Amino acid sequence: MTEKEKMLKQMLHDADDLKSYQMIWLGQRIFVMTTASSAHLKSFLHCDEIVRGKLHQ
Tell me what pLDDT residue 44 has: 64
Cα 23 to its chain centre, rounded Å, is 9
Q: CA distances (Å), 27 to each of 24, 34, 47, in order?
A: 5, 11, 30
Please give the residue that has the higher pLDDT: either 8 or 57.
8
Tell me what pLDDT residue 2 has: 93
Give the predicted TM-score (pTM) of the model.
0.48
**Could you read off the pLDDT of 1-48 as tens digits, one per residue?**
899 899 999 998 888 888 888 888 888 888 887 777 776 666 666 666
Tell me what pLDDT residue 40 has: 66
